[in-house]
Structure 1
Amino acid sequence: MKAQFLKIFVKIRSSLWFTPGVMSSVAVALAFLTITMNDPMADFFESLGWTFSGGAEGASAVLKTIAGSMITIAGVVFSITLVALSLVTSQLGPRLLRNFMRDTTTQVVLGTFVATFLYCLIVLRTVRRSDSSGDTEFVPHLSVTLGVFFAVLSVGVLIYFIHHVSVSIQANRVVARVGNELLTTIDHLYPKKPAKDTPQKEERPSADFLDMFSRKSRPVPATTDGYIQFIDKEVLMEWAVKEDAVIRLEQQPGRYIVAGQPLVRIWPEDKITDQLPKRINRAFALDDERTPSQDVEFAVLELVEIALRALSPSLNDPFTAIACIDQLGTALCRLAQRNIPSPYLFDEGKQLRIIAPTRGFSEITDAAFNQIRHNVRSSVQIFIHLLDTIATVAYFAHRPEDQATLLRHAEMLVRGAREGLPEELDRWVVEERYQAVVRLCNEPRPGLEQDIDRQPNANETSLVS
């Protein structure tokens, strides 16, 4: 199943063992290969003057030195990584651990030192000294030369790793990394608009069918507990077409499911067999943590968590919160320019097969702003920046319902400012920013069918009067 494969892939991608394990395996294979090729290739490399020319004792000393230093440095790298992870957990939030564990640089650096250690260890066991019993001396010159090369390379990797860690734990870099992940999720889940930006007519089933479906469909329960990470809609579509049925998803990625809770509803009900629940459950990948792959809300909440921690009295770091708000604004600007996928999925014969509710602009905007707004009752700086960000998003928002969402949040912010800001001049500045949002949401957009003479509603007028 695709969903189960993606679940395993995410676990491997977020692990610190897979990449070092692969690199170590390659190093062991390379050690045996170079030992085997030592005699056939010795003359060629010797003519180039690149190979190690010492005897058995010298080769053993070099390999022992490299192996000992590599395993020591590997321990130092592990220690640095753990310190960085603990720092991120305490200051920016435990959910960001996954982002650091997925860092390719850290995985490759760990793999470099462990692989070099194992390579030297394998080569060292083949070095033989001549003795009175008749054993001839054997020195794998090519293998020792490569070991020295790997040691020099490892020194460069160590220097780069120290630089990488010092840069990657900076708050703005962490926020930017999470923001880029959010943008990637939006690009994956929300398609770009057509080139001519013409509104597409959404195919919808009749209201009578939807009412009948609610009354006559039967639920299929979950068999395990956990957060939904992936939903394989292709498998569900294939089954629905084969059985001539309609499926409605009752849960979205990111939701926590308890065993026995409905995952889907199916119509007609006679299509539900004893084996069907097991097959349906295989299309849902559940685990003990959320991932942003199909869950855009989780990527938003990662930024919100950083902002809330920055605004807490223990840290009191409004600049990090502002950086988070900027990234949220960038994501909302991109989302405002994208089509929201239809919840109704049809087969090639234009028959409705799947009803899959999706998170729209309003839900994602609520997730981005609600919790931050609740924690800024006395910070004029954050009030102003939130309203400026909403104004920026409003410039890109072309759908009337999106503009209404932005106005709603601006109204709540200005009400909160009136209640929380003691200085009249601060309140006046916030009101001025609110007026800018109102003007942007009311001005006509090219290519949109809307009333050019639209006036502020009663709520807008009362807030600025």
Structure 2
Amino acid sequence: MKKYNRIKLWEGLHSSYWFVPLLITGAAIALAFFMLTLDSTGKSGLMEKSGLKIYTGGADSALTLLSTIASSMITVAGTVFSVTLVALTLASQQFGPRVLRNFMQDIRFKFVLGTFIATFIYCLLVLRSVHTDAEQPFVPKISITVAILLAIASILVLIYFIHHASTSIHAWHIIREISDELESNIDYVFSENPGNSHPEHKRQLVEEITTGFEQQAYPILATGSGYIRAIDYDRLMNIAKSKDLLLHLKHRPGKFIVRGSKLVRVFPFERGNGKLTKEINYAFILGRERTAFQDVEFSIKQLVEIAIRAISPAVNDPFTAIRCIDQLSVALCHLTQREFPSPYWYDDNDQLRLIADQVTFAALVDDAFHQIRQYGRQEVAVTIRLLETIATIAEYTRNKNNYVALLRHANMIRRGSENLFEKLDREDVEAQYQVVLQRLAKI
């Protein structure tokens, strides 16, 4: 469970806009004190004798130099923050508010902002150590040299920031970022492969145990509200084995639950109690927002949201929708080659312990295609690309259940195209539909 709490903590820090700049600023403070210590011990003289180029000006010029760098850095930091807010606003309006999560997790924006703030803080700390007394002047030459180097580095970072800010709001960039997250999430979720595939002789056992289960099981109610970010299946398995229970999970990661709703059912009924309710609830990590961790549907729906916004009358950008469909096809092709986890978990003695609500390929296809098909019914290019995507996925699948899901969507897309005004458009859709049937016939 500690693993999932650490992941939740890291998710919160990673999505915050203060954590990375704070770390960089802390490093700048440590660097300032370290450099001032070197200056106070007379290391600058040794460096000059060794031929290293360091600052050689007086106290007054040092004050002017540090003040100029500090004031310019804080000004640029404000500009960077303003540009970031503009990028967030544009992305939210064009691609949806859920895309802001990807921007908030973009460490490059935070690194740029932290660099300028860190340079500003460093110059302030060095500035306070400069003494202009005629009797005992003190000019931290090494520290000032480092300040100049930080200023040069900040200029390079500014150039990079301008490039990154201009490309980060492009549709192709945002779609690609979400697609990469979806691919990595598929690899993570299905590599864990929760659940144990039960052999044929266990199916009858499953049917016998689950008969009348809903009426005879003890309901475990949720003690909080929010989105399920993660479920500690191992912890639930240990609880079930130690107390000789059968647990039926009513929800999977990504679902929203309300406090007091049924979270898990426990069999037999007489073993349920308040302590068990607390232990089981502890295995569910809740949050205010939905995240991609253990939730493949989340990233798919992000791509779908961008697509349906693109084909809305206000935007009318089918090319962006087609790009989203292309990325969805990549993910679904990979999913057809994955072994989806069984909902049934057995212990080492072949005793059924958990019945989990697992995602299915058909459900993911529904998430990917339903809304795009509904909103893009009059967009011929989008309709044809959906059929082309189904034909592509059909080349990768060898599962009959996947065949049923793909054929179902192909039929719905074809029926939706019957209302197209232009006869040639209907014929183009029909031609692509026949291609889909040919591909599916080979399964």
TM-score (norm: length of structure 1) = 0.90
Taking the aligned partners of 1:247 and 1:123, their CA distance within structure 2 comes to 62
Q: Within 5 Å, give how 1:21-420 maps onto structure 2.
A: 21-38=22-39, 39=41, 41-46=43-48, 47-131=50-134, 136-191=136-191, 201=199, 204=203, 205-211=205-211, 213-419=213-419
Q: Deviations over 1:178-235 (max 9, x none)?
A: 1111111111112399xxxxx9957654310122543422111111111111112222
Deviant stretches of 4+, over 6 Å: none
- Check the 8 A contact 1:191/1:339 in 2, yes or no: no
Give the structure 2 partner of residue 6 of structure 1: 7
Q: Deviations over 1:359-416 (max 9, x none)?
A: 1110000010001111122211111111001100111111001011101100111111
Taking the aligned partners of 1:192 and 1:210, their CA distance within structure 2 comes to 26
- Check the 8 A contact 2:246/2:266 in 1, yes or no: yes
- Check the 8 A contact 1:178/1:302 in 2, yes or no: yes
Q: CA deviation at 1:165?
A: 1.0
Taking the aligned partners of 1:200 and 1:280, their CA distance within structure 2 comes to 24
Q: CA deviation at 1:104?
A: 1.2
Taking the aligned partners of 1:380 and 1:418, their CA distance within structure 2 comes to 11
- Check the 8 A contact 2:29/2:122 in 1, yes or no: yes
Partner amino acid, structure 2, of 1:432: A
Partner amino acid, structure 2, of 1:8: L
Tell me the SS of whatever aligns to 1:264: strand
Q: CA deviation at 1:41?
A: 2.9
Partner amino acid, structure 2, of 1:217: A
Tell me the SS of whatever aligns to 2:211: helix
Q: Deviations over 1:301-348 (max 9, x none)?
A: 111110111001110000000001001111100000100011112234
Tell me how many residue pairs correspond in the alignment: 435
- Check the 8 A contact 1:19/1:107 in 2, yes or no: yes
Relative to 1, partners in 2 of residues 1:40 and 1:259: Cα closer, same or farther, differing over 3 Å? same
Give the structure 2 partner of residue 441 of structure 1: 440
Relative to 1, partners in 2 of residues 1:406 and 1:92: Cα closer, same or farther, differing over 3 Å? same
Taking the aligned partners of 1:78 and 1:313, their CA distance within structure 2 comes to 32
Partner amino acid, structure 2, of 1:284: F
Taking the aligned partners of 2:56 and 2:268, their CA distance within structure 1 comes to 79
Give the structure 1 partner of residue 20 of structure 2: 19
Q: Deviations over 1:392-442 (max 9, x none)?
A: 0111111001011101100111111112x1111111111111111111111
Q: CA deviation at 1:244?
A: 2.4
Taking the aligned partners of 2:150 and 2:351, their CA distance within structure 1 comes to 60
Which residues of structure 2 form unaligned runs of 5+? none
Tell me the SS of whatever aligns to 2:274: coil
Taking the aligned partners of 1:271 and 1:106, their CA distance within structure 2 comes to 52
Q: Deviations over 1:257-283 (max 9, x none)?
A: 111001111223333332222222222
Which residues of structure 1 form unaligned runs of 5+? 194-198, 445-465
Relative to 1, partners in 2 of residues 1:271 and 1:55: Cα closer, same or farther, differing over 3 Å? farther
Tell me the SS of whatever aligns to 2:265: strand
The sequence identity of aligned pairs, in percent, is: 46
Tell me the SS of whatever aligns to 1:286: strand
Partner amino acid, structure 2, of 1:340: F
Q: CA deviation at 1:129?
A: 1.8
Taking the aligned partners of 1:190 and 1:200, their CA distance within structure 2 comes to 17
- Check the 8 A contact 1:4/1:282 in 2, yes or no: no
Tell me the SS of whatever aligns to 2:228: strand
